[in-house]
Amino acid sequence: MIILNYINGEWIEPKITKYMAVLNPANGEVIARTPLSLAADVDAAAKAAAEAFPAWRRTPAQDRVQYLFKLKFLLEDNLDEISRTIVNECGKTYEEAKAEMRRAIENVEVACGIPMLSKGEISEDIAPGIDEILLRQPVGVCATIAPFNFPGMIPFWYLPYALATGNTYIMKPSEKVPMTMQVLFRIIERLGLPKGVINMVNGSKEAVDAILDHPVIRAITFVGSTSVARYIYRRASENGKRVQAQGGAKNPAIVLPDADMDMAIKIIADSAFGCAGQRCLAVSWAVTVGEARNYFCEGICDAAATRTVGYGLESDTKMGPVINKASVQRIEHLIGLGVSEGASIPVDGRGTVIKGYENGSFVRPTILMDIKPGGDIWKTEIFGPVLGVMHVNTIDDAIVLTNSGVYGNQASLFTSSGSAARKFRYEVDAGNIGINIGVAAPMAFFPFSGWKESFFGDLHGQGMDAVDFFTQKKVVVERWPKQWSRKF
The catalytic residues are 280
Minimum CB–partner distance for residue 86 and ligand NAD (Å): 14
**Residue with smaller CB distance to ligand NAD, 118 or 454:** 454
**Residue with smaller CB distance to ligand NAD, 76 or 376:** 376
Minimum CB–partner distance for residue 276 and ligand NAD (Å): 12
**Residue with smaller CB distance to ligand NAD, 301 or 441:** 441
Which residue sits closest to ligand NAD, CB atoms considered? 224
**Residue with smaller CB distance to ligand NAD, 88 or 118:** 88
Which residues contact ligand NAD by CB under 6 A?
Answer: 145-149, 154, 172, 174-175, 204-205, 208, 223-225, 228, 231, 246-249, 280, 381, 383, 409, 448, 450, 454
Residue 346, judged by CB atoms within 10 A of its CB (0-12, 13-18, 19+), counts as middle
**Residue with smaller CB distance to ligand NAD, 91 or 166:** 91
Minimum CB–partner distance for residue 261 and ligand NAD (Å): 28
Q: How many CB atoms lie within 10 A of CB 260?
A: 13
For the chain, what is the HEC assignment? CECCEEECCEEECCCCCCEEEEECCCCCCEEEEEECCCHHHHHHHHHHHHHHHHHHHHCCHHHHHHHHHHHHHHHHHCHHHHHHHHHHHHCCCHHHHHHHHHHHHHHHHHHCCHHHHCCCEEEEEEECCEEEEEEEEECCEEEEECCCCCCCCHHHHCHHHHHHCCCEEEEECCCCCCHHHHHHHHHHHCCCCCCCCEEECCCCHHHHHHHHHCCCEEEEEEECCHHHHHHHHHHHHHCCCEEEEECCCCEEEEECCCCCHHHHHHHHHHHHHHHHHCCCCCEEEEEEEHHHHHHHHHHHHHHHHCCCECCCCCCCCCECCCCCHHHHHHHHHHHHHHHHCCCEEEECCCCCCECCECCCCCCCCEEEECCCCCCHHHHCCCCCCEEEEEEECCHHHHHHHHHCCCEECEEEEECCCHHHHHHHHHHCCCCEEEECCCCCCCCCCCCECCEECCEECCCCECHHHHHHHCEEEEEEEEECCHHHHCCC
**Residue with smaller CB distance to ligand NAD, 118 or 271:** 271
390, 369, 387: which is closest to 287 by C-alpha?
390
Minimum CB–partner distance for residue 123 and ligand NAD (Å): 37
Minimum CB–partner distance for residue 239 and ligand NAD (Å): 14
Please state, in angstroms and rounded to a whole number, the distance separating the CA atoms of residues 421 and 258.
12
Minimum CB–partner distance for residue 114 and ligand NAD (Å): 22
Please state, in angstroms and rounded to a whole number, the distance separating the CA atoms of residues 477 and 437.
48
**Residue with smaller CB distance to ligand NAD, 270 or 348:** 270
Q: Are 201 and 41 spatial neighbours (Cβ–Cβ below 8 Å)?
A: yes
Minimum CB–partner distance for residue 355 and ligand NAD (Å): 28
Minimum CB–partner distance for residue 299 and ligand NAD (Å): 26
